[in-house]
Amino acid sequence: MTPEVWDLLRPFRDEAIARDVPVDDVERWLDTARPCAALTRDGDGPVVGRFGGPLLLPADVPDPAHPFVASIDLAALPADATGLSLPPDGHLLLFAFPETADDYDTMGSAVYVPAGTAVTERDRNAWNSFDFEDWKAMFEAFPQGPLRATNNVSLPCHHAVEFPGEPGSGPLPGHPRSEELV
């Protein structure tokens, strides 16, 4: 990890140790940290996309099942911003609906549109086939505008795993203090 990433993780490390989590457990947890790009409407990072805007999809892509949330211009995203093997250009369109019937429902999707692909503007409300007014109003009030990327670090946000054939769940393998560290 770079010195900048360690600087971002230092407060987490100090707090975990102050809570009596053994240093070895903290260090093993910190080894799972990955670089990420925090996308915000404010900040001083480069503009890499936008919240909202027109929904532009290739003609052969079906209407999404979730509302259009944001578009990321992959050519504008700094190459070292994430550890993901993303294409160097094109757009990543993000669709999401945060309120679902249960935690196992799909809450969103992503569509990659390669650079130079012909697109057409689509109905932003096609996902709302029942025309629920409160859902429509919620997404009309969703933030709009430029998205800026700021280099950051990501740690796991889950602390348990279900094991096949065993009742319940347990800590992540190799991380007996995962619940505390989350």
Is residue 95 a contact partner of residue 68, using CB atoms and an 8 Å limit? yes
Model confidence pLDDT, tens digit, residues 30-39: 888 888 888 9
Model confidence pLDDT, tens digit, residues 96-128: 876 655 555 667 889 999 999 999 999 877 776
CA 8/CA 65 separation, integer angstroms: 37
Model confidence pLDDT, tens digit, residues 49-78: 999 889 999 999 998 888 888 999 999 998
Where does residue 103 rank: exposed (0-12), middle (13-18), buried (19+ CB within 10 A)?
Answer: exposed
Q: What is the pLDDT of residue 57?
A: 95
Mean pLDDT (the chain) is 84
Task: Of 96, 60, 90, 59, give the one whose Cα is nearest residue 77.
Answer: 90
Confidence at 93, pLDDT banded by 50, 70, 90: very high
- For residue 112, the SS3 value is strand
DSSP state of 57: E
Q: What global pTM score does this model have?
A: 0.76
Around 86, how many Cα atoms within 13 Å sit in the side-chain half-sphere? 25
Radius of gyration of the chain (CA): 20
List 91's β-bridge partners, or say none.
73, 113
Q: Which two three-digit tokens encode residue 159?
A: 């602390």
Q: Which two three-digit tokens encode residue 81?
A: 């911003």
